[in-house]
Structure 1
Amino acid sequence: MKSDPKSLSTVFIIDDNSAVRDAIRWLVEQVGLKAKTYASAQEFLSSFHPDMRGCIVLDIRMPGMSGIELQEKLFHGNIQLPVIIVTGHGDVPITVRAMKAGAFEFLQKPFNDQTLLDAIHAALDKYSALWQQEERRNQACKSLAALTPREREVLDLLRKGKPNKVIASELGLSVRTVEGHRANITEKMGVKSLGQLIEMMLKSDPENLDN
């Protein structure tokens, strides 16, 4: 059974005010979500890795790197972590800058607890679909990498719609050998039909599927 990406998510709380960090963490954990807290943007970055899943609840004004600077760094790095800005110093220019950097939501302190929870759940729901797509794409790439060069040749001809007899002729193989390669391919790729096989290839390499 595949894991639900949302169930594996963590709410990353970044705020230099320890009381705010603890309050948000308590709130998040009360609804069954995991939470981690950081006192600065630098502290978060020091523990960051690309496989992180969840959302960020981020204060804007902090010593050192500001929340906006951290958000822009993640945005330009194409990091798939939705950011919810919470601040007591929000104004129009800051809001516009945050939204341009892809902020999922912008909340003014003091905020309503349910409003924050609603924003967190909405962010996780939206991005769970993206994480699932990425997981399927990574799995497809791993499966393709497990094929032998000959199996890749057979697969390339299969996805072009060529029957076993034609593939055998083009590669100088017997039909039975092609059938054997085809069985190995479907087993390694974890699929039961050619349609599923093509779908998996599309997810792993959509630009080259029609070549």
Structure 2
Amino acid sequence: MHPESTSNADETGRDEGPEPTVFLVDDHEVELDLMQRWCQRAGLATQIFADPLRLLESLDVDTVGCVVADLRMPRISGLELQAEMAKRELFIPVVLVTGHGDAENCRTAFQQGVFDFIEKGFDSVQFIDSVERAIRKNQREQFRHQVRREARGLLEAISKREHEVVLLLANGMPLKGIAHELKISVQTASKHRSSIFTKLHIDNEVDLYKLLLAAEVSLEVETPQ
């Protein structure tokens, strides 16, 4: 088998977003072959790498799936790989496997943000369970990030003054209060609200609040000087 190969093993026709991929990284070809066969039997697409640095070149922020890496590799360790991924803001769950597991390695791995840590000798059921849990975690996070991007994209359409009105509305302030706070007329405040609802494709303050939560923006109001 070549050091790097791709297997699109999922024939189930799933179309719920990008197909997740299990990125397998190990300098032992036998280990790679075994883990890849397990993934294929579970219907999971895989990419395999003997060199973790080649893996880093293949990942981006929109990658969906998980990384399974050997803890001890010649060029960089699995922990160093996970640290480099975090540095590049590649928050794909990492499952570390090793034949040299100990309490200190486990503690360091989890403190660093590794998703799971399993010793070689694990069976296919344990392996696939860990991989599928990591993928589900990544899919949830990717969905949340997508929702946040879309919400923030909508908010870019409103003006600076409308943004001030948005925060006051989200904090439950009535139009009279907004008019007083921003030193504008109630009629002007009402026009701002209508414009905001139109631009954001929403119908009421509850929808606005949900949109702001999805965008993960601060609802703190700055008092005008």
Matched residue, 1:199: 210
Q: Per the alignment, in what secondary structure is the counterpart of residue 86 of structure 1?
A: strand
1-structure distance, mates of 2:109, 2:168: 48
Matched residue, 1:32: 43
Matched residue, 2:84: 73
Q: Which amino acid is 2:108 matched to?
A: R
2-structure distance, mates of 1:157, 1:4: 37
Q: Per the alignment, in what secondary structure is the counterpart of residue 154 of structure 1?
A: helix
Do structure 1's residue 91 and structure 2's residue 102 form an aligned pair?
Answer: yes
Matched residue, 2:4: none
Aligned with residue 113 of structure 1, among 101, 124, 129: 124
Map 1:157-176 onto structure 2 (within 5 A): 157-164=168-175, 167=178, 170=182, 172=184, 175=187
Deviation at 1:145, TM superposition (A): 1.0
Q: Which amino acid is 2:52 matched to?
A: A
Once superposed, what is the RMSD of the aligned Cα atoms?
A: 2.8
Question: Is the CA contact 1:201–1:209 (under 8 Å) kept in the aligned structure 2?
Answer: no
Question: Is the CA contact 1:61–1:67 (under 8 Å) kept in the aligned structure 2?
Answer: yes
1:67-116 Cα deviation digits (max 9, x unpaired)? 12112333466642221111223334333332332222222223201110
Matched residue, 1:137: 148
Bigger CA drift: 106-115 or 197-206? 197-206
2-structure distance, mates of 1:29, 1:188: 46
2-structure distance, mates of 1:22, 1:132: 31
Deviation at 1:57, TM superposition (A): 0.6
Deviation at 1:210, TM superposition (A): 4.9
Do structure 1's residue 57 and structure 2's residue 68 form an aligned pair?
Answer: yes
Matched residue, 2:58: 47
Q: Per the alignment, in what secondary structure is the counterpart of residue 114 of structure 2?
A: coil
1-structure distance, mates of 2:114, 2:133: 13
Do structure 1's residue 20 and structure 2's residue 31 form an aligned pair?
Answer: yes
2-structure distance, mates of 1:95, 1:27: 24
Deviation at 1:118, TM superposition (A): 0.6
- Distance verdict in 2 for CA 1:209–1:10, change over 3 Å: farther
Identity of aligned residues (%): 30
Q: Per the alignment, in what secondary structure is the counterpart of residue 110 of structure 1?
A: coil
Where do 5+ consecutive residues of structure 1 fail to align?
none
Deviation at 1:64, TM superposition (A): 0.8
- Distance verdict in 2 for CA 1:75–1:154, change over 3 Å: closer
Q: What is the TM-score when the length of structure 1 is the normalising length?
A: 0.80
1-structure distance, mates of 2:155, 2:117: 42
